[in-house]
Amino acid sequence: MSPRSDAVRSRERILAAARDGRGEELRLNEIARRAGVGVGTVYRHFPTTHALTEALTRETLERMREVARAAREGSDEDAFALFLGAALDLQLDDGGLKTVLLSPADEEPGVAELKREIFAAFDEVLDRARRSGAVRADLDIVQIEHLICGIEYAVRLGASGDRAPFLEILLAGIRPAPAR
């Protein structure tokens, strides 16, 4: 049974209102007011704040999947570095992405699949990078993701938002120590 038309309308209004206030914290009351619906309606569509975050982040997740696929399929030497840069940019762009990637919740339909695909491709690219000597052997995909989040955090602390030096530092840092 397809969803009722008013439900679809409400959902879209809520998402639009939430997107308006991007950057600010998600305040459900405020979003309901801006969307012109009751608070109850917001909770009906998104039982938790996390569910709403996932819905807001879906587009970014899809972009990340594309980037990950391209990195896996391509034969670029620097695929891993490029992917890391892209991932950092996406996370800086969409403050909710980090939460969605790290949380095991996956409440919105399809999000779990998206994440699985992203991490699978990521893992493959990481594996190649490890073998080519661009990344230390003792780092797994989870630690790398945590590091990206840490660098995202550091970039946000700076007023300039200049990610370049911090990305360089991350890439240089995760390279295996040169033998001496």
Partner DNA sequence: ACCGAAAATGGATGAGTAATCCGCTTCCGG
Partner DNA sequence: CCGGAAGCGGATTACTCATCCATTTTCGGT
Chain positions contacting DNA, by CB under 7 A? 1-7, 9-10, 25-30, 36-41, 43-45, 47-49
Q: How far is the CB of 16 from DNA (least distance, A)?
A: 14
Q: How far is the CB of 143 from a second copy (least distance, A)?
A: 7
Residue 27 interacts with, from DNA, a second copy, none (CB under 5-8 Å by kind): DNA
Residue 134 DSSP SS3: coil
CA distance 44 to 110: 19
User: Could you give the string, one character per residue 9-48, with x where binding to a second copy holds by CB under 8 A and - elsewhere?
Assistant: ----------------------------------------
Ramachandran category for residue 161: left, alpha or beta (phi over 0 → left; psi -120 to 50 → alpha): left
In the block, which residue shows the tokens 């909770």? 43
* Of the residues 2, 157, 161, 180, which one makes contact with a second copy according to CB under 8 A: 157
Residue 58 or 146 having the CB closest to a second copy:
146
CA distance 6 to 71: 41
Residue 74 interacts with, from DNA, a second copy, none (CB under 5-8 Å by kind): none
3-state secondary structure 140-159: CHHHHHHHHHHHHHHHHHCC
Residue 149 interacts with, from DNA, a second copy, none (CB under 5-8 Å by kind): a second copy
Structural element, H or E, at residue 64: helix 49-73
